[in-house]
Structure 1
Amino acid sequence: MLEKKDIDLEKAVLIGVITKEQDADQSKEYLDELEFLTYTAGGEVLKRFTQKMDMPNPKTFIGKGKMEDVRQFIEDNNVGTAIFDDELSAAQERNISKILECKVLDRTNLILDIFAQRAQTSYARTQVELAQCEYLLPRLKGMWTHLERQKGGIGMRGPGETEIETDRRIVRDRITLLKDKIKTIDKQMSVQRGNRGKMVRVALVGYTNVGKSTLMNVISKSKVFAENKLFATLDTTVRKVVIQNLPFLLSDTVGFIRKLPTQLVESFKSTLDEVREADLLLHIVDISHPNFEEHIESVNKILGEIDGADKPTIMVFNKIDAYQAEPYDETDLILERTKAHYSLTEWKNTWMHRVGKNNALFISALNKQNINEFKKRVYDEVREIHVTRFPYNHFLYPDYEEES
C-alpha cells in the first residue's frame, strides 16, 4: 500500500477498461500505475472501476450501467475527482462531467498536472505550459464553466485555472509564443553543450522511478533530487564525473512512462537533446518491478521517436536488493511456473545473456551493491570512446583498478 503522509488528500476514483488489446492483467497493471500517479499528484484513490468491453464507449468511455455505479459511489462518498486510464475526447469529457457532476480527468491530464507541480526551472515550466495549451486547445468548447466551478486541485494547475476567459485565438497565440521561447532557450543550451568541448557524454535513461537520480548521486557524488514518486526529475541535470582519473559528462533525464502524452513527448524533445547527443546510454531498469520488460519496451519506443535507439547502450538492472521472485512449489500440479518465479540467476540466463558481454549489469544504487563492477564497465566504455577521439591520450588512462 502507498504511504499517505499528507493530511488533505483529494478523494478520487479510477476507471479503466478491459478490451481485446488490453487484458485483465494489463488493465490492473495500468491502474496500479494510475494510482501511483494519483498519489504523486496529491490524491487518494478510494475505489477502482473496470468494465470488460470490445472498445470504449465513444460517448461516455464506459457503459451506462457502470457509469451509474461510479456516479452513486461518488455521491455516497463525497468524491471530488474521477480519473480515467485512457485519454478522453472533448465530447466524452463533457458528457461524463454532466453525469458525474465532479472533476473529470484522464491519464494525460493527470500526467500534465504532475509535470506542472514538478517543473522547477523556467524552461521546464515553459515546456509544461506548452503541452497543457496543446492539450486544452481542442477541449475549449464548454470547458471553462466546468473549470470555473471546480476551482484548483489535481489537474487544475497551469493555464487551466488562471486563464478561464481564454478562447482559441488567444491559446494559439500563446502556443506560438511558448514555441518561440523554447527555440530561444534551445539555442542557448546548444551553445552551452558546444562549450563543453569534446568530452565523452553519457546519459541515464529509463522508466520513471527506476533510480536514475539515486545512481547519479552515487557515482557523481552530487545531490540530485531523488524521491519515491513518479517524475521526481524533470529538468536534465548534467554533472562532470571522474572515475579513477577519467573525466566525462553524465546527464540525468526525465523518466519515461507508458501512454506518455504526445504533447509532452513533443514539448520535451528539446530537453532530450542530451540523449540524442550522448556517446553512451545507460538504460536503467527497476528489476524489482513485475512488469519491467514492458517498461524496457516503452523506453525503447520513445528512444526511437527521439532518434536515440541506435546509441551504444548498457542495460543496468537496478534495485536487485528489492527483487523477490514469487514462491513456487514444484509439487503443485496446477500452478504453472512463469517468469514471475525466476530467480535473478535465471533472469541473467534469459535474453539478458544475449545483450552482449558485460552489457547487462545488476546493481543496487541505494545499497551500492556491485557499484564497483558498474564503474569499471562505464570506465572501460568511456575510455574506449575517449581514446578513439584522442588517440594520443591512451597512455593517460590505464586499466581500471578495483576500489577497496
Structure 2
Amino acid sequence: MTDAITPQSTDETPVDPVDRVLARADARSGVRVFGGAQALQDAATVTYGDSDGEQWDREERAALRRVPGLSTELEDVTEVEYRQLRLENVVLVGVYPQGSQEDAENSLRELSALAETAGAVVLDGVLQRRPHPDPATYIGRGKASELRDLVAAVGADTVIADTELAPSQRRALEDVVKVKVIDRTTVILDIFSQHAKSREGKAQVELAQLEYLLPRLRGWGESMSRQAGGQVGAGGAGMGSRGPGETKIELDRRRIRTKMALLRRQIRDFGPAREAKRADRKRNTIPSVAIAGYTNAGKSSLLNKLTSAGVLVENALFATLDATVRRAEAVDGRVYTLTDTVGFVRNLPHQLVEAFRSTLEEVADADVIVHVVDGSHPDPAAQLLTVRDVMGDVGARSTREIVVFNKADLVDPDTRLVLRGLEPSALFASSRTGEGIAELRAAIEEALPLPAVEVRALVPYERGDLINAVHESGHIISTRHEEEGTAVHAHVSEHLAAQLAPYAVS
C-alpha cells in the first residue's frame, strides 16, 4: 500500500511517511521556507571578481522587457485591460521506490532550482513512495485527487512532475488536478530556450523542443479532428473538396517535421566552420582543453579565473549554452585552448543530447577534460556519474580527465575527506578565493600532449621565425646558442618538423 500525500506537520508530532521535500510557503508572498534551492549556490557566497571580465549578457538578461500591445492610445478607455505581472506558482511532485528517499529529495530540490531558474515560484513539493509510477496518472488516481486539493489550497497554477511524463500520463493527471501539468524535460527545454544566444544554440534548442512536442500534440474539439471530403450531409465540404483530407493535428505534425528537417540542415551548415577552426588548431598542434561538468558547478568562473575570459557567470542553472573557446599559454610558452561547454544535469533529455551533439563535440575532440564538480553540492557522487555518462555518450570516455572539486571555500574539512574518498587524485579549487587555481593550471599543463615529432636542429640566426614557431606550438627540451645558430631539441608538429628538416642534426 502506498503512502498518502499529507501536508507538513506544524506541531511537534512526527509527519506522515510521505516525505515532504519543500516546505509549503505563503502563496501570496511566494517565499519558501527552504530559501534558495540546494542546487543553487547560497546568494551570500556568490561574488563576481575582476577576473570575470565585462559580462554584457548579465545586463541584457536583467534588463526590462517591453510588453507589446499595451498602448493606451484607444478611443474607448474601457478597452484598456489592467494586468499584474506575476511569476508562475508551481507544486512539485515525484515518485520514488523503497530505499531511494534521499536521492528523490535531492532530485526534487534540483527540480525546484530548475523551476526557479525558468521563472517560477515553488509553493510546495511532495513525494510518493511506490514501486513504479502509475502508468495512467503517474501517482495513481487517489493521490492525484489529493494533489488536486493541495494545488487548490496553496493557489498553484502548474504542477511539475520530476520525470518525463508520457503524453497519456500528462493528460490524465491534468484532467484530475484541473491545472496545467508539465514535466522535468519541459522545464529544462524552457530554460534552454531562454538562455540560447547564438544562431546555432537557438536552432539546437528549437529542434529539441520540436522533437519533444511532436508525439505530444493534443487536439481540442472538432477543429483538430475534422477532415475535408465526403458529402455535405455527412459533414464534408461538398464538391471540390472530396478526397482523403487531412486533420488539423496531421497538418501540425507535417509542419513540425518539415521545420525539424530545416533545423537539422541549418545545424549541419554550422559544422564546416567549426571543423575548419578545429582542423586549423590540430594542424598547428594547439592542444585543446574542455571544461565539462554539472550545471552551476562553476565552469565559467574557472574559465574566467584561468584566462580572464569575461564569460557570463551567473548563479543559475544552464547559464552557459554556447561553447566559448579562449586562448591560454603555458609556462613554457606553449599555446593551448580552453573551452567552456554546456552543463549537464541528471535525467538530461535525450533530445538535448542529440540536438547539442555538435556542441558536445568540443568535449569529444578535446585532448584533456577538466571535469568540474560542485564540492558543496549535497550529492557530488551523482554529479560525477551523470557527467561521465554523457561524456561516454559523446565518445569522450577515454580522454584524459582532471577532476576538480570547485567551491572549495564552502567545503568543511570533514566533507573534503569524503570527497577525497570519491576521487583520490582530484584537486580542490575556489573561483571565489583563488585557492587551487595555480595547482589546476599546473595540472592542465602537465597533462597537455606532446607534439608528435622529436627534432634536434641547428637553426641559423636568420631563421628566427622557426625558433619562434617552436616556442609557440612545440615543447622545448633544450636550446643552446652556438656560432652557426641556435641548437634546439624539441617536440614539434609534423608540419614544423618538415620545415626544420634542412637544419636537422644527429
Q: TM-score range by the shorter chain?
A: 0.7 to 0.9
Q: 2:388 aligns with which of 265, 282, 300?
A: 300
Deviation at residue 377 of structure 1 after TM alignment: 1.4
1:94/1:143 contact within 8 Å kept: no
Q: Match of 1:271, as an amino acid?
A: T
1:5-404 equivalent positions in 2, closer than 5 A: 8-20=86-98, 23-142=100-219, 167-196=252-281, 197-244=284-331, 245-324=333-412, 342-345=414-417, 347-348=419-420, 350-353=421-424, 355=425, 360-382=426-448, 385-388=449-452, 393-395=474-476
- Residue deviations 1:136-163 (CA, integer Å, cap 9, x gap): 1101133799xxxxxxxxxxxxxxxxx9
1:185 and 1:46, CA in 2 relative to 1: closer, same or farther beyond 3 A? same
Gaps of 5+ in 2: 1-34, 37-41, 44-61, 65-84, 223-247, 457-473, 480-506
1:285/1:317 contact within 8 Å kept: yes
Q: Match of 1:366, as an amino acid?
A: R
Q: Match of 1:299, as an amino acid?
A: V
Which structure's CA Rg is the greater one?
A: 2
Q: Write the distance in 2 (CA, Å) between the matches of 1:317 and 1:17.
A: 30
2:106/2:378 contact within 8 Å kept: no
- Residue deviations 1:183-231 (CA, integer Å, cap 9, x gap): 1111222122223332000000111111000000011111001111110
- Identity between Structure 1 and Structure 2 (%): 37
1:14/1:83 contact within 8 Å kept: yes
State the superposition RMSD in angstroms.
Answer: 2.5
- Residue deviations 1:26-55 (CA, integer Å, cap 9, x gap): 110110000000000001110112111111
Q: Write the distance in 2 (CA, Å) between the matches of 1:239 and 1:294.
A: 29
1:82/1:103 contact within 8 Å kept: yes
1:204/1:250 contact within 8 Å kept: yes
- Residue deviations 1:73-126 (CA, integer Å, cap 9, x gap): 222333111100011111111112222222211001110000000101110110
- Residue deviations 1:13-72 (CA, integer Å, cap 9, x gap): 00001214x721111011000000000000111011211111111111012222112212
- 2:241 alignment counterpart: none
Q: Write the distance in 2 (CA, Å) between the matches of 1:380 and 1:388.
A: 16
1:122 and 1:314, CA in 2 relative to 1: closer, same or farther beyond 3 A? same
1:346 and 1:48, CA in 2 relative to 1: closer, same or farther beyond 3 A? closer
Deviation at residue 266 of structure 1 after TM alignment: 0.6
Deviation at residue 351 of structure 1 after TM alignment: 4.7
Q: Match of 1:394, as an amino acid?
A: H
1:101 and 1:351, CA in 2 relative to 1: closer, same or farther beyond 3 A? closer
Deviation at residue 345 of structure 1 after TM alignment: 4.1
1:215/1:366 contact within 8 Å kept: no
Q: Write the distance in 1 (CA, Å) between the matches of 2:337 and 2:304.
A: 14
Q: Helix, strand or coil for the counterpart of 1:270? A: helix
1:243 and 1:178, CA in 2 relative to 1: closer, same or farther beyond 3 A? same
1:318/1:362 contact within 8 Å kept: yes
Moved beyond 4 Å, runs of 4+: 3-7, 163-166, 387-392
In the superposition, the TM-score normalised over structure 2's length comes to 0.66
More deviation, 371-380/313-322: 371-380
1:308 and 1:397, CA in 2 relative to 1: closer, same or farther beyond 3 A? farther
Q: Match of 2:103, as an amino acid?
A: Q
1:387 and 1:29, CA in 2 relative to 1: closer, same or farther beyond 3 A? same
More deviation, 254-263/73-82: 73-82
Q: Write the distance in 2 (CA, Å) between the matches of 1:95 and 1:143.
A: 14
1:94/1:142 contact within 8 Å kept: no
1:346 and 1:289, CA in 2 relative to 1: closer, same or farther beyond 3 A? closer
Deviation at residue 166 of structure 1 after TM alignment: 6.1
Q: Helix, strand or coil for the counterpart of 2:219? A: coil
Q: Match of 1:170, as an amino acid?
A: R
Q: Write the distance in 1 (CA, Å) between the matches of 2:207 and 2:313.
A: 25
Q: Helix, strand or coil for the counterpart of 2:362? A: helix
In the superposition, the TM-score normalised over structure 1's length comes to 0.82
Deviation at residue 284 of structure 1 after TM alignment: 0.7
- 1:336 alignment counterpart: none
